[in-house]
Chain A
């Protein structure tokens, strides 16, 4: 063979990829405006569902190393020092399917701020001292924060563990204590290299930035490896449908030293934003348990009428930290959701009654559905309430990113349009189809777990004593509630010591 010809062939073979290579277009959601504040929501479509088996918590740990650790050039001390006069911060939120880095800055300081977060995300330091601090914090969060100082959040997260057992959604995004203990800094580096790619990136920004700035950001983030485009969320590759769970009610009582009894319950549903029945179910959840609102039906029956606790609510989308905020955080979009009831802590002697009350009301909802008046009122509420969900620029941006994920228009438009076309029949059909479940899972947190278990298994009548006389109709309903059957087998009422949870 002609040597020269071979050399040319070889040269071409090496150089062809360069000529054929196209720049990958990085996805973005941009909302320029006259606001003096710039909001960044830089998202990677990878979350704790991507934690390798045995390495639960890796996605969260990695993101925290980026957002709360030093870059290659700057230690975290230095970064905090630079943020200080700008009143800036940088945080990360990890859920099952996405990791979102959030920061806000006054436009005066945008360039300086961006240079720092650019480094944090693209040139992370992966330092040993940061790793130790952050890993310890993650474990403390599970061990003492969730387990020992917030019964309500504990109940909700435990419920998710149980419903999603055996799936990538089982573990809390922060992980488990035993898996965290084993994670190394190399694990973090590997996760970063594999998952922080252009294909998974969505740059979200709102505020007074210009096109020159966005061009620069695209150029900077093009230094990430290309990666593989994530599959469309409509392929349920994670197999998270309701057929996962066995039939029947199951009750897990978490035992810990605590004053009151917290209750959470729910089951998976197959409806998300973009699905035909989502607006109908959103209406039902709003009627039945609008978050921290006295218009919640459950609140009306359990707190308002009976004074049993601080509140009672229902949801069709994940809403962590609900006790600290009135609106949910954005960017918790998932491939699977649950219908959930949150019954805030009750005096232990009323727990049996309250559990039955919640199940009784749920049963009424699925048997009777809702009436025209309720439908009209709740719809009128939701059509306006969507404005409140997006009342800050940050929320508007977050919702836009989620709309992109779910493949829907602007959330407000989507909901208003769908709600305006909705009928009562649609809603009641949706209740029958999606909320009628024979696979309820219940979590209760209490001190006398054995006593509570016995009350349930022995089918002890739920009782309640009032500080003042109640009308006859309430007392009559109390009798029904008190003996409302909890169709649970004795073997399906389990007691779990709190130090086994998230272990």
Chain B
């Protein structure tokens, strides 16, 4: 009997594997929708004893359309930990503690994600807790004002880093109309005014914390049917909303832009060269092509990296940055430079490299190697329930379905060297460019 079961398990495992060798996401999953629009994604895994719960809200700094409200989505994320009708402040921590949980949240341009990993036996209680704060959040003005202090503290601890400032300046220089012109952290002036904005918190909550705007992801040692029942039990009464964010589209750029930042304390210089870039898509090739280009042309294996970092040793590091975003944002390349006298040289080498690939084709071999790298990298990143849920959260915030992952990888498979050159030419133009540099203030730095 034991042998039979063993063989059966083997055959099932083998057939599951076979069915999935074409898929990149290595786990089976189910997606269910409640009548109020709330979506649930469940992924059973073989990482035992633990469950990861991720709740993804489609609200980020992109949704901050009113003046003086930059960083509010992030501030609101903090406020979500300040208590709810049936769970007094402090109860959240007690429950998480009892569950031995690692719990946190983060905000990005396009999403806010609440997440925790805990012992599987505590799922019901945590689901109940989450349902209460998402539907019946409650905190006093005093608590609100205190939390504003913590957000100011967060800004303060980030402010020591030059790249934090550079990113703020890059975004406000590259964008003037779209809400991507400010960062998720927000401007210090707005943060300092938060204590006066208690009423707006409830406006924000009513607008964005709605079931049609939210996806619940559960991974780990779970029974999918039980999880769905739990969600229905606690979240069915959540009322649908109707708010739609209207974001001003960014006007086309008509000339290159640049800013130089003088840093008050000694620092190695930095440069960032960015271009307006395409938004995420499951069907159009633009972003996928640039994604493949970024690793090849600006990654550690690239000619530019080897030249600037390894051979000439003029840069400490060079790194591309290009994220999946709901709206068109930026493709940028950053470098930390060893000596200020080489700052312009490094900037020019980066620009030359961008231009090179608007004219030259990437060799097929490199393209194939990059696709291989992406697939292996993706699988290797799934090393815990938390990592699996975290990866899903990023994609689910774009198209609300894990199917997106395989669609994107299929898109990567379809890209040719000619595609890459075409899209490089389309996006890497002078008129799309913003350059930010940063160096120690002359004469005044201590």
A residues neighboring B (CB under 8 Å):
36-37, 76-77, 80-81, 83-88, 104-106, 108-109, 129, 132-133, 136-137, 140, 144, 147-152, 256-260, 262, 292-295, 303-311, 323, 326-327, 344-347, 377-378, 380-388, 391-394, 466-470, 497, 499
Tell whether, in the assembled complex, residue A391 and residue B157 are in contact, meaning their CB atoms are under 8 Å apart.
no
A88 to B142, CA, bound (A): 50
A152 to B157, CA, bound (A): 8
A392 to B145, CA, bound (A): 38
Interface segment among B97-105, B272-280, B327-335, B428-436: the answer is: B97-105
Tell whether, in the assembled complex, residue B142 and residue A470 are in contact, meaning their CB atoms are under 8 Å apart.
yes
Beyond A377-B97, A388-B118, A466-B146, 20 extra complex contacts between A and B, CB < 8 Å: A84-B299, A86-B372, A87-B372, A106-B380, A148-B160, A148-B265, A148-B266, A149-B160, A150-B161, A151-B160, A258-B160, A303-B153, A304-B146, A309-B156, A311-B153, A377-B94, A384-B119, A385-B100, A388-B117, A469-B142
User: Top 10 A-B pairs ranked by shortest CB distance?
Assistant: A384-B100, A307-B149, A87-B377, A468-B145, A309-B153, A257-B265, A85-B369, A260-B156, A307-B146, A87-B376
Residues of A within 8 A of B264 (CB): 257
In the assembled complex, 25 residue pairs joining A and B whose CB atoms fall closer than 8 Å, in A order, are A81-B301, A85-B368, A106-B379, A108-B376, A133-B310, A140-B316, A152-B157, A259-B156, A259-B160, A262-B157, A295-B96, A305-B146, A306-B146, A307-B152, A309-B149, A309-B150, A309-B157, A311-B153, A327-B102, A346-B153, A346-B156, A381-B97, A381-B99, A384-B100, A391-B386
Closest to A256 in B: B265
Tell whether, in the assembled complex, residue A467 and residue B157 are in contact, meaning their CB atoms are under 8 Å apart.
no
- Report B92-127 residues with CB < 8 Å from chain A CB: 92-94, 96-104, 117-119
B445 within 8 A of A: yes
Q: Map CB proximity to A onto B120-164 as digits: 1 under 8 Å, 0 otherwise.
A: 000000000000000000000110111111101110110111110
Say what secondary structure dominates the interface of chain B.
helix
Residues of B within 8 A of A345 (CB): 153, 156-157, 160
Tell whether, in the assembled complex, residue A85 and residue B372 are in contact, meaning their CB atoms are under 8 Å apart.
yes
Cross-chain contact of A84 among B81, B301, B313 (Cβ < 8 A): B301
A311 to B104, CA, bound (A): 13
Known: A106-B379, A306-B146. A76 touches B310 (CB 8 A): yes
A133 to B118, CA, bound (A): 43
Tell whether, in the assembled complex, residue B161 and residue A259 are in contact, meaning their CB atoms are under 8 Å apart.
no
Tell whether, in the assembled complex, residue B369 and residue A294 are in contact, meaning their CB atoms are under 8 Å apart.
no
Q: Map CB proximity to A onto B315-338 as digits: 1 under 8 Å, 0 otherwise.
A: 010000000000000000000001
Known: A87-B373, A257-B445, A345-B157. A148 touches B267 (CB 8 A): yes
Closest CB-CB distance, A402 to chain B, in whole Å? Answer: 19
B195 within 8 A of A: yes
Tell whether, in the assembled complex, residue A144 and residue B266 are in contact, meaning their CB atoms are under 8 Å apart.
yes
A260 to B445, CA, bound (A): 17
Tell whether, in the assembled complex, residue B117 and residue A391 are in contact, meaning their CB atoms are under 8 Å apart.
yes
Residues of A within 8 A of B358 (CB): none
Residues of B within 8 A of A84 (CB): 299-301, 369-370, 373
Closest to A35 in B: B383
B258 within 8 A of A: no
Residues of A within 8 A of B154 (CB): 310
Residues of A within 8 A of B290 (CB): none
Residues of A within 8 A of B161 (CB): 149-150
Closest CB-CB distance, B163 to chain A, in whole Å? Answer: 8
Closest CB-CB distance, B121 to chain A, in whole Å? Answer: 9
B361 within 8 A of A: no
A163 to B445, CA, bound (A): 30
Closest to A82 in B: B301
B391 within 8 A of A: no
A144 to B439, CA, bound (A): 12
A499 to B301, CA, bound (A): 35
A132 to B316, CA, bound (A): 12
Closest CB-CB distance, A153 to chain B, in whole Å? Answer: 10
Residues of B within 8 A of A77 (CB): 306, 310
Closest CB-CB distance, A302 to chain B, in whole Å? Answer: 10
Closest CB-CB distance, A279 to chain B, in whole Å? Answer: 15
A383 to B122, CA, bound (A): 14
Tell whether, in the assembled complex, residue B162 and residue A149 are in contact, meaning their CB atoms are under 8 Å apart.
yes
A-B contact count (CB 8 A): 210
Residues of B within 8 A of A133 (CB): 309-310, 313
Closest to B146 in A: A307
Residues of A within 8 A of B159 (CB): 258-260
Closest to A130 in B: B310
Closest CB-CB distance, A441 to chain B, in whole Å? Answer: 22
Residues of B within 8 A of A85 (CB): 368-370, 372-373, 376
Residues of A within 8 A of B445 (CB): 257
Residue among A137, A305, A382 with the highest chain B CB neighbour number at 10 A? A137
B11 within 8 A of A: no
Closest CB-CB distance, A216 to chain B, in whole Å? Answer: 23
Closest CB-CB distance, A423 to chain B, in whole Å? Answer: 20
Known: A377-B94, A394-B383. A307 touches B148 (CB 8 A): yes
Tell whether, in the assembled complex, residue A129 and residue B310 are in contact, meaning their CB atoms are under 8 Å apart.
yes
Closest CB-CB distance, A322 to chain B, in whole Å? Answer: 12
Closest CB-CB distance, B337 to chain A, in whole Å? Answer: 11
Tell whether, in the assembled complex, residue A310 and residue B369 are in contact, meaning their CB atoms are under 8 Å apart.
no
Known: A345-B153, A468-B195. A149 touches B103 (CB 8 A): no
Residue among A129, A262, A466, A467 with the highest chain B CB neighbour number at 10 A? A467
Residues of B within 8 A of A109 (CB): 376
Residues of B within 8 A of A76 (CB): 310
Tell whether, in the assembled complex, residue A378 and residue B310 are in contact, meaning their CB atoms are under 8 Å apart.
no
Tell whether, in the assembled complex, residue A381 and residue B50 are in contact, meaning their CB atoms are under 8 Å apart.
no
B34 within 8 A of A: no
Closest CB-CB distance, A307 to chain B, in whole Å? Answer: 2
A470 to B141, CA, bound (A): 11
B200 within 8 A of A: no
Closest CB-CB distance, B296 to chain A, in whole Å? Answer: 9
Residues of A within 8 A of B311 (CB): 129
Q: Map CB proximity to A onto B270-302 as digits: 1 under 8 Å, 0 otherwise.
A: 000000000000000000000000000001110
Closest CB-CB distance, A47 to chain B, in whole Å? Answer: 24
Tell whether, in the assembled complex, residue B50 and residue A387 are in contact, meaning their CB atoms are under 8 Å apart.
yes
B374 within 8 A of A: yes
Tell whether, in the assembled complex, residue B380 and residue A37 are in contact, meaning their CB atoms are under 8 Å apart.
yes
Tell whether, in the assembled complex, residue B100 and residue A256 are in contact, meaning their CB atoms are under 8 Å apart.
no
Tell whether, in the assembled complex, residue A106 and residue B148 are in contact, meaning their CB atoms are under 8 Å apart.
no
Cross-chain contact of B100 among A108, A262, A383 (Cβ < 8 A): A383
Known: A383-B100, A384-B119. A467 touches B338 (CB 8 A): no
Closest to A348 in B: B156
Known: A144-B266, A392-B383. A307 touches B301 (CB 8 A): no
Residues of A within 8 A of B156 (CB): 259-260, 309-310, 345-347
Cross-chain contact of B149 among A104, A256, A306, A326 (Cβ < 8 A): A306
Tell whether, in the assembled complex, residue A132 and residue B313 are in contact, meaning their CB atoms are under 8 Å apart.
yes
Known: A87-B374, A137-B316, A303-B153. A391 touches B385 (CB 8 A): yes
Residues of B within 8 A of A87 (CB): 372-377, 380
Closest CB-CB distance, A92 to chain B, in whole Å? Answer: 16
Closest CB-CB distance, A372 to chain B, in whole Å? Answer: 15
Closest CB-CB distance, B114 to chain A, in whole Å? Answer: 13
Tell whether, in the assembled complex, residue A393 and residue B373 are in contact, meaning their CB atoms are under 8 Å apart.
no
